[in-house]
Amino acid sequence: MCADMERLPLAANSMNLVWSNLALQWAHDLESTLKNIHRTLAPGGLLMFATFGPDTLKELRTAFAAIDDAPHVNRFIDLHDVGDMLIHAGFASPVMEMEMLTLTYTDLKTLMRDLKGIGAHNAAVARKRGLLGKSAWARLEHAYETHRLEGRLPATFEVIYGHAWAGDKTRREDGRQVIEFKIGERQRQSGLA
């Protein structure tokens, strides 16, 4: 099935496991997306994910800031905020970890090709449309060069790993608790029910 993660066409309580690898950071409204995922998970179901944190591509963000004030690199959500969103979405017992990974490149063009190859793009609403001109590209390359270490250009990725349980799902979206009364078979037969 190919579907929008923000509007999953799946029945409520129909999944036991949702696995998301480097997709949640592209959601327009992460908390709403998490609520939708929670809706699809069966009681006791598990969400496991990896997403990017705010230090992702910090070198590129700094280099772009040296040439203009426009947002060129996405802002990613902090680990603690993701944890809060999980709780607000109805998940229980979230566990979060973070790891910093640094890839290195010979030049900026190779880094930009890699980003394009994984489908990364600037999703900021206020982003500039169109390509950088030659002058702006030269200033960007010059600004990025200040990060060069041991002959290589670093690109940092803050990767957040997490998992959380759907829980018993006895709370409604408005926060009310659902309490279920079950009458035993013996009580029904004896006429006590």
Q: Tell me the whole-structure pTM to 2 decimals.
A: 0.80
**Residue 74 belongs to domain spanning:** 12-190
d(CA 76, CA 84) in angstroms, rounded, equals 15
d(CA 48, CA 134) in angstroms, rounded, equals 43
Residue 140 falls inside a structural domain: yes
Indicate the number of domains in the chain.
Answer: 1
pLDDT at 159: 97
CATH of the domain at 89: 3.40.50.150
Which residue matches tokens 């408005």?
174
Question: 160 pairs with which residues across the strands?
Answer: 51, 98
Q: Average pLDDT in the 162-172 region?
A: 85
Residue 44 falls inside a structural domain: yes
pLDDT at 119: 77
Residue 6 falls inside a structural domain: no
Residue 166 falls inside a structural domain: yes
Instruction: Give pLDDT tens digits for 53-71.
Output: 999 999 999 999 998 888 7
d(CA 151, CA 101) in angstroms, rounded, equals 18
Q: pLDDT grade, residue 153 (50/70/90)?
A: very high
Q: For residues 85, 89, 95 and 96, what is the CA-based torsion angle, rounded to 10 degrees?
A: -30
Residue 118 falls inside a structural domain: yes
Identify whether the C-beta of residue 121 lies closer than 8 Å to the C-beta of residue 60.
no
pLDDT at 118: 81
Name which residue leads in pLDDT, 37 or 133: 37
What is the per-residue DSSP string for the chain? Answer: ----GGG----TT-EEEEEEES-GGG-SSHHHHHHHHHHHEEEEEEEEEEEE-TTTTHHHHHHHHTT-SS--SPPPPPHHHHHHHHHHTT-EEEEEEEEEEEEEESSHHHHHHHHHHTT-----TTPPPSPPPHHHHHHHHHHHHTT-BTTBEEEEEEEEEEEEE-TT--B-TTSPBP------HHHHHHT--
Two structure tokens written together for 154: 């670093």
Q: pLDDT grade, residue 177 (50/70/90)?
A: low
Residue 4 falls inside a structural domain: no
Instruction: Give pLDDT tens digits for 125-142.
Output: 555 666 678 998 899 999
Residue 1 falls inside a structural domain: no
Residue 2 falls inside a structural domain: no
d(CA 11, CA 157) in angstroms, rounded, equals 35
Identify whether the C-beta of residue 67 lies closer than 8 Å to the C-beta of residue 143.
yes
